[in-house]
Amino acid sequence: MRHPKSLKGFDLADIYFMPIGQPGTGHLAMKQLQKIFLQGLVTFLPIALTIYIIYAGVAIVDSFLGDALRQILPVYIPGLGFLITLVLILLLGLLLNNLLAGGIFQKLEQKLTKVPFIKAIYSPLRDLMNLFSKGGGPGGLQKVVLVDISEGENPIRAMGLVTRENFKDVPAIEQNAGDRVAVYIPMSYGLGGFTLMIPRNRITPLDMPIEKAMSLAITGWVKAEKNEGEIK
């Protein structure tokens, strides 16, 4: 509809007034739009971050040999350094599976770990890689457990990963540990955690894959798939 009046030379007749609908319609529409945006954001961010992390990882690995290959090859294909690095790692793994080569590497490693500064860096990194690569084998994460943090009939519990069940290689701890196991308690929403020496009678084994336990711990158990029958 047209407004019949003018105001100080401004012709209000040229302005069209449109109905805005029922009271609160704009607020509801904004809330709906906000909900749709958040749904899109929740879907987009994990995909974008995954792609970015993969891209960054490939770029870092590619840079290991990429700079050298650029000096040798007349034309460098992006990603070639990454592919060659993967091939070299595969060849190294095949070589270490050979008994003779594996024995030679172990002797070299023993000499390497005797160098003080190198030992302080190399040994923890090697142990960390062995921890996750060996899975349920000796020297790796062995099983998922619930740890009784407090006393009483209904104690507070935390989920942990048994990293070792004896301390024979650490006599100072073995003499005072008693019947205890080392349990790693991962932290949520971050990389880190802490290790506790827990009495064996205060842990309850869970029938759950280690990968699933780590996924739940890192996300703070925000979303757990139901009816999987993993926890017994």
In tens, the pLDDT along 117-156 reads: 777 777 777 776 766 665 544 455 678 999 988 887 888 8
> Which residues of the chain, if any, have pLDDT below 50?
1-2, 6-7, 10, 12-13, 15-18, 136-138, 228-232
The tokens for 184 are 């790693």
pTM: 0.53
What is the pLDDT, as a whole number, of residue 232? 42
The whole-angstrom separation of Cα 49 and Cα 188 is: 18
What is the pLDDT, as a whole number, of residue 230? 46
- Count CB neighbours of 140 within 10 A: 17
The tokens for 28 are 């509801």
Contact status, residue 143 vs residue 159, Cβ threshold 8 Å = no
Strand duo 157-164 + 143-148: pairing:
antiparallel
Contact status, residue 135 vs residue 210, Cβ threshold 8 Å = yes
Residues 6+ apart with CB under 8 A from 12: 3, 4, 5, 6
What is the pLDDT, as a whole number, of residue 23? 54
What is the pLDDT, as a whole number, of residue 18? 46
**In this prediction, what percent of the chain has a pLDDT beyond 90?**
1
Helix (H, G, I), strand (E, B) or coil at 168: coil
What is the pLDDT, as a whole number, of residue 82? 84
Contact status, residue 185 vs residue 119, Cβ threshold 8 Å = no
DSSP 55: H
Closest by CA to 173, choosing from 161, 184, 183, 182, is: 182
Contact status, residue 92 vs residue 76, Cβ threshold 8 Å = no
Residue 87: CA count within 13 A, CB half-sphere: 8
What is the pLDDT, as a whole number, of residue 1? 47
Residue 37: CA count within 13 A, CB half-sphere: 6
Q: Where are the alpha helices (DSSP H) in 73-136?
A: 80-96, 99-112, 116-133
